[in-house]
Amino acid sequence: MPGLFTRLSNLWRGFVSLWIADVEKEHPEIAFENAIASMAEKYTKLKKATAAIVRRREDTEQRFTKHKEELAQVNADLTVAIETNQDDLAMVLLQKKSALEKDLADITAERDSSARDAESAKASLVQVQSEIKKLKAERDSSLAKLASAQIKVQIQEQLEGISVDAEIKALDGVREHIRNQVAAAKLGDELGQNDLDTRLNQLRAQSGDVTAKQQLQELKAQMAAKKASQKTL
């Protein structure tokens, strides 16, 4: 039974993960906010750990300073004890000096180690802080690009949905009507040129021109004859 519950729990977490992934795809701002929040939480924990490491470094530094000062005092007391031939006191001071030197060596190693740990922790803290800033910048840039792309897609869809078929068909009807009117007018001209009355009128006009020319020639001949007769007289 415990194994069954474990599998069901894993299956449920898998479904939840898939559902969250789908939601984040539809709403990328949620994905960015979740990532930033997660990193901010890690930053907070790392900051607390770094503060503890720095505190340890400071405590070790204080112990180092205290032992160093105490060792310097023991060395001074030892010098005086030797110079004043206080051998019993000098022996005690020598033992104390030996213990202090051993402790100081251990504290020095601990101080150096805590200093390195503090620097490493601070570097990690700065790195996480930098990653959060980069992630925020990426969020702003990516969401701006996404918004621009979505607007372009909407405009393209709107343009694709616009149909000009009705307008083109309406103009086609107008163009056809104009062509029909022009053709009708042209046909009227052609029919007018072939009409019998029109041809008869044209013929009469030509006949009138011939008669007028004949009359003109006759008048010219009469005038010439008259002038000739006058010269004879």
What is the total residue count of the chain?
233
The pLDDT confidence band at residue 4, using thresholds 50, 70 and 90, is very low
* Residues 16/19/24/27 CA torsion (nearest 10 deg): -130
User: How high is the pLDDT of residue 192?
Assistant: 56
Last residue of one domain, picked from the residues 162, 190, 212: 162
Q: What are phi and psi of 174, to 5 degrees?
A: -65, -45
Q: Do 175 and 62 fall within a single domain?
A: no
Tell me how far CA of residue 41 lies from CA of 7, 44, 135, in angstroms: 29, 5, 14
* 207/180 same-domain check: yes
Q: Assess whether 37 and 145 both reside in one domain.
A: yes
Buried b (16+ CB within 10 A) or exposed e, 154-188: eeeeeeeeeeeeeeeeeeeeeeeeeeeeeeeeeee
- C-alpha 212/C-alpha 217 separation (Å) is 9
Q: Is residue 14 domain-shared with residue 122, that is, in the same domain?
A: yes
Q: How far is CA 160 from CA 78, 150, 154, 155, 163, in A?
A: 99, 15, 10, 9, 8
Whether residues 19 and 133 fall in one domain: yes
Q: What is the pLDDT of residues 210-220, one digit of tens each?
A: 676 777 787 77
Q: Is 40 within 8 Å of 83 (Cβ atoms)?
A: no
Domain closes at, from 108, 141, 162? 162
Q: What is the pLDDT of residues 121-173, one digit of tens each?
A: 999 889 988 998 998 888 888 888 888 888 888 888 777 766 556 666 667 76
The CATH code of the domain that includes 104 is 1.10.287
Question: Do 142 and 210 have their domain in common?
Answer: no
Q: Number of structural domains, the chain?
A: 2
* CA–CA distances in Å: residue 193 to residues 22, 42, 187, 197, 206: 82, 101, 10, 10, 16
Judgement on whether residues 143 and 174 belong to the same structural domain of the protein: no
Residue 122 · residue 50 · CB < 8 Å? yes
State the pLDDT at residue 85.
Answer: 92
Contact present, 107 and 67 (Cβ < 8 Å): yes
Same domain, 138 and 187: no
Give the tens place of pLDDT for each residue, 9-40.
544 454 434 434 455 556 778 888 888 888 89
More confident residue, 184 or 21: 184
Question: Is residue 7 over pLDDT 80?
Answer: no
Q: In this prediction, what percent of the chain has a pLDDT beyond 90?
A: 31
Residues 198 and 122 in one domain: no
Is the pLDDT higher at 151 or at 174? 151
Asked which of 162, 190, 210 is the last residue of a domain, the reply is 162
Rounded to 5°, angle at Cα 70 from 68 and 74: 115
60-69, 132-141, 160-169, 222-231: range with lowest mean pLDDT: 160-169
Q: Distance between alpha carbon 92 and the CA centroid of its chain, in Å?
A: 77
218: containing domain:
170-232
88 and 174 in a single domain? The answer is no
Q: In the structure, what pLDDT confidence band is assigned to residue 178 with cuts at 50, 70 and 90?
A: confident
Residue 204 has pLDDT above 70, yes or no: no
Q: What is the pLDDT of residue 207?
A: 65
Same domain, 65 and 175: no
Contact in structure between 92 and 76 (CB atoms under 8 Å): no
| Amino acid occupying residue 146 | L
The pLDDT value recorded for residue 8 is: 45
Same domain flag for 20 and 58 = yes
